Structure 1
């Protein structure tokens, strides 16, 4: 297949996802539609390497992840992280819910090793799925090796629509409070005044005309490289995912004035980066063949259902204790099923579907987006990798 034809097909799928999301007012998220279309494509006429042929091989996707996660770090100030401590507790409670339900009810239905392989990918990222897949392969458990990848690929099918539903309910609740005067933008920020966008303190004498797109890309890439460098220096002593450090370094770089807020958007590179990363995520569906899906369909569905039930129960309880609405608490815990960038995309789709008023969008964004981003980073980027490192020893 020619490169440009592959690119046209894949971008058309992303566009169809957007159109369906707009037409259904985010009741059917774009990421869900795209995942279905990719699956159909791989089962019919797509070459397995269509994403690489289109120009997004894994090495390019990795570059985009470094840039995007560092960029996302600039959205979260150190003060914001302190403000979001409730979100962190709720996200961790959702993970605990998955573990508790699968180790109790799950082990009554499936064998212990199936449950062990399922949990880290259910909590999030591709890294944890690969760790468990390789661990199962080395242990001679071929079917569980495949199961680890497929459960990571398919869990979003449950997470996307449920998240959209609960966020729409939360958004409507917030709009009612805002329109009745009960909620202000300050309240939506958890009582903390909106932080003025920091100037580039380290470059305050640099004329604006020299702060070009390339200079923004350079600084963003440099911060990402420093995160990678630190992760390699720490490797002999402790394993720290470089992408976790990208988030932390992005926060620090913004705080000290080395990066502005959202430099990737200001360098006009955000849209292309998101496109490349989304294509790479959907590329994982190439492994989900029809025969493989039939073989593991039952454990796949049951494990995902049990995980969602566990997340709901635990997040509901902790949300009550912390005085967070059950919808917001559940949505935060659901980020474990997909993480970034789906958490960012779904939240923005829901906000756009609820109102066209810019002030109302600002209120909804300030209330819903930070918890969703923090929840996704905590579960997918950090906790899932730690769990995989522990659980792989049980195989």
Structure 2
């Protein structure tokens, strides 16, 4: 198969996934459709190395992952996290609940290695799934390498409808309060858009004409290299994943003004970086035989159900303590299953379905959207990457 034909086929599969997700309003996740089509391809006519043949070998995907995780750090608004401290605690409690049930009941049922591989992709996104898939493959655990990908692919199927149900109940409760005059509109704040002033203006003095896309890529790559360098220096003392350090240094570099917010998007590279990572993680399915998929099906369902049950129990307890409604608490915890932009899309779709009045929509948005954005950011962007970086060392 020629390189361009391979590229056309795999990108077309990604498009089909997006098309189905749009038509079903995200009730059918795009990653699920893509995974099914890739599996069918590998079981029929795909070359085993179709992704590499198309021009996305593992070394390219690794470079893109460094850039993406540093970019994640640029999205962190410390001020918004301070304002939403209750949301942060509830999101963390949900993750803690998932970990608690999986490490206890899950270990007894499925074994410790399976649980270690399952936790990060279950409470995170693409990057954490990729870290665990690579780690399992390097440890010679090929079935668990596939398992990490499948967990990431399937988790949204439970997360999307549950979140929608919780948000609809919360929205109906808020509408009743609003119509009785007991609810005021809050100021909305986006975790991914709000600027953060640090008082450090050195980098702001660089003329805009020199702030080219290549310079933006250079800054991202430089911070990624620093993360790799620090990781290798610390290796004799303590093993810290360079991906975790990418996130930490991305936050710090943004705080001092070296990096701009969402820099990869501004450099017109975010779409291609996500394309590369999506293809690379789907490439992990090349080792998934039909027999292997049947073998992990029971484990997959069990791990997802245990994780979600843990999220519900712990987020409910945290919500009671922090005086959050149980519906909103569980919805915030569930953002761990998908993160941004699904949290934004689901919240807005629920609000649109509840009322046609623009003022009521604004009130609902001001109360429901910020917690959902912060929840998804904390779980998927921060905690899951850290967890993956830590847990992969135990394989």
Asked if Structure 1 and Structure 2 have the same fold, meaning a TM-score greater than 0.5 normalized by the shorter chain, the answer is: yes
1:375 equivalenced with 2:371 (yes/no): no
Equivalent residue number for residue 305 of structure 1: 305
The match for 2:123 is none
* Partner SS state of residue 257, structure 1: coil
Q: CA deviation at 1:8?
A: 1.2
Write the distance in 1 (CA, Å) between the matches of 2:102 and 2:374.
29
TM-score (norm 2): 0.81
Residue 162 of structure 1 pairs with residue 166 of structure 2: no
Conserved 8 A contact 2:224-2:246:
yes
Q: Are the aligned partners of 1:88 and 1:378 in contact in 2 as well (CA < 8 Å)?
A: no
- Cα distance, 1:68 vs structure 2: 1.3
Mapped contact 1:87–1:374 kept (Cα < 8 A)? no
* Counterpart contact for 1:332–1:376, Cα < 8 Å: no
Is the contact made by 1:6 and 1:54 (CA closer than 8 Å) also made in structure 2? yes
Q: Across the two proteins, how many residue pairs are aligned to each other?
A: 372
Q: Give the TM-score normalised by structure 1.
A: 0.81
Note the alpha carbon deviations across 1:63-88, whole angstroms, 9 max, x for none.
Answer: 11111111121111333444455455
By how many angstroms is 1:10 displaced?
1.4
For residues 34-91 of structure 1, give each alpha carbon's deviation from its aligned partner in whole angstroms, at most 9, with x where no partner exists: 2222222222222221111111111111111111111121111333444455455444
Alpha-carbon distance in structure 2 between the residues aligned to 1:106 and 1:260: 41
Q: Is the 8 A contact 2:91 2:375 kept in 1?
A: no
1:384 maps to which of 382, 388, 393? 388
Q: What does residue 79 of structure 1 align with?
A: 79
CA distance in 1, matches of 2:8, 2:327: 38
Write the distance in 1 (CA, Å) between the matches of 2:195 and 2:308.
Answer: 35
Question: Deviation per CA, 1:88-135, whole angstroms, max 9, x where unpaired?
Answer: 544443444344434554455x4xxx4201111111134345445655
Change in CA separation of 1:365 and 1:318 when aligned onto 2, cut-off 3 Å: closer
Q: 1:224 to 1:56 in 2, by over 3 A?
A: same
Give distance in 2, aligned partners of 1:289 and 1:83. Answer: 48
Quickly say closer, same or farther: Cα 1:41–1:334, change in 2 above 3 A. Answer: farther
| 2: CA distance, partners of 1:34 / 1:183 | 43
Residues 1:267 and 2:267 aligned together = yes
The match for 2:119 is 123
The DSSP-based 3-state class of the residue aligned with 1:260 is: coil
Which deviates more, 370-379 or 321-330?
321-330
1:300 Cα shift?
A: 3.5
Other-structure match for 1:58: 58
Q: Is the Cα–Cα contact under 8 Å of residues 118 and 151 in structure 2 kept in the other structure? A: yes
Q: What is the CA-CA distance between 1:376 and the residue it aligns to?
A: 1.4
Shift of 1:353: 4.3
Aligned partners of 1:118 and 1:303 also within 8 Å: no
Work out whether residues 93 and 311 of structure 1, in 8 Å CA contact, stay in contact via their aligned partners in 2.
yes
Does the C-alpha gap of structure 1 residues 255 and 303 become closer, same or farther in structure 2, counting only changes over 3 Å? closer
| Structure 2 segments unaligned to the other structure (5+ residues) | 121-127, 353-357
Alpha-carbon distance in structure 2 between the residues aligned to 1:44 and 1:238? 45
Change (3 A) 1:231 1:276: same
Distance 1:242 1:9 in 2: 33
Query: Where do 5+ consecutive residues of structure 1 fail to align?
Result: 138-144
Distance 2:296 2:345 in 1: 32
In structure 1, the partner of 2:342 is 346
Tell me if structure 1 keeps the 8 A contact 2:64–2:273: yes
Most deviating of 155-164 and 10-19: 155-164
Contact 1:102 / 1:115 at 8 angstroms: preserved in 2?
Answer: no
Q: For 1:185-226, what per-residue CA distance to the aligned partner results, in whole angstroms no more than 9, with x for missing partners?
A: 525679xx9546779822333222221111111112112211
What is the Cα deviation at residue 3 of structure 1?
1.2
- Structure 1 stretch 238-247 or stretch 177-186: which is displaced more? 177-186
